[in-house]
A and B are shown apart, each in its own frame.
Chain A
């Protein structure tokens, strides 16, 4: 299979509407006939990344590459950056505001969930410039 490249813009600002990019990706992965568990893991990683982009940055972009043996999801924003990545990776740590919490987010589980459901996760962040979270999910052969 040739590498399939997909790009999904993530709108900023509206947390209520968040999840569109992840929904679209999930549908595409389903059409490609990938295993249900792989689709689920990729969808969870993408949705958590999408929610983070909406809460902390003004949206961003997700690039997805699907190969026979792996899915790479690269989520890039131009938000404020993460001051302390180790702290942000701790379950329960959150800097999300009141609105996000009222909607059921801001539990400090976003990045930990991405780590839990991916095989590899890389965070590149620069204060004032933005953050890129890259995840790799292996597809068992």
Chain B
């Protein structure tokens, strides 16, 4: 499925969708940026509650398909600006990380 299809199917918010046609192949949850960098798979959806602008840089370098801010976290202005600059897909949901990840899993299988 693509980022756009996942977002629509799960009713998640789009803070910025630079490339809605990008494929999502899995998920990864984590807030320690270096940990995420080392472990998140390419093309996955990354669930986090971190909302500073380094999130956009990590998403770009780790080459994830999209970032999903969970628990109703809103991106700060700098993160939004960076996501736009770096063409990072940035979504959001009020669900907790576990629920959001489970729903993505059901959606992808």
Name, among B35, B57, B63, the residue most crowded by chain A CB atoms within 10 Å (CB to CB).
Answer: B57
Contact between chains at B32 and A107 (CB < 8 Å): yes
Contact between chains at A16 and B61 (CB < 8 Å): no
CA distance A48 to B33 in the complex (A): 10
Q: Give the residues from 35 to 69 in chain A that come closer than 8 angstroms, CB to CB, to chain B.
A: 36-37, 39-40, 43-44, 46-48, 51
B11 an interface residue at 8 Å Cβ cutoff?
no
Partner of B38, one of A16, A51, A105, A112: A112
Contact between chains at B32 and A40 (CB < 8 Å): no
B21 an interface residue at 8 Å Cβ cutoff?
no
Contact between chains at B52 and A109 (CB < 8 Å): no
B37 an interface residue at 8 Å Cβ cutoff?
yes
CB distance from B83 to the nearest CB of A (A): 12
CA distance A141 to B89 in the complex (A): 32
A113 an interface residue at 8 Å Cβ cutoff?
yes
In this complex, how many residues of chain B approach chain A with their Cβ under 8 Å: the count is: 21
Please classify the interface of chain B as helix (H, G, I), strand (E, B), loop, or mixed, using the class held by over half of its residues. helix
Please classify the interface of chain A as helix (H, G, I), strand (E, B), loop, or mixed, using the class held by over half of its residues. helix
B58 an interface residue at 8 Å Cβ cutoff?
yes
Contact between chains at B52 and A47 (CB < 8 Å): no
Partner of B32, one of A16, A23, A104: A104
Chain B residues in 8 Å Cβ range of A109:
32, 34-35, 37-38
In this complex, how many residues of chain A approach chain B with their Cβ under 8 Å: the count is: 30
CB distance from A117 to the nearest CB of B (A): 8
15 residue pairs from A and B, CB less than 8 Å apart:
A18-B54, A18-B57, A22-B57, A43-B60, A43-B63, A47-B58, A48-B34, A48-B37, A103-B33, A103-B52, A103-B54, A104-B55, A107-B35, A108-B34, A110-B34
Question: Which B positions have Cβ atoms within 8 angstroms of A?
Answer: 31-35, 37-38, 42, 50, 52-55, 57-58, 60-63, 78, 86
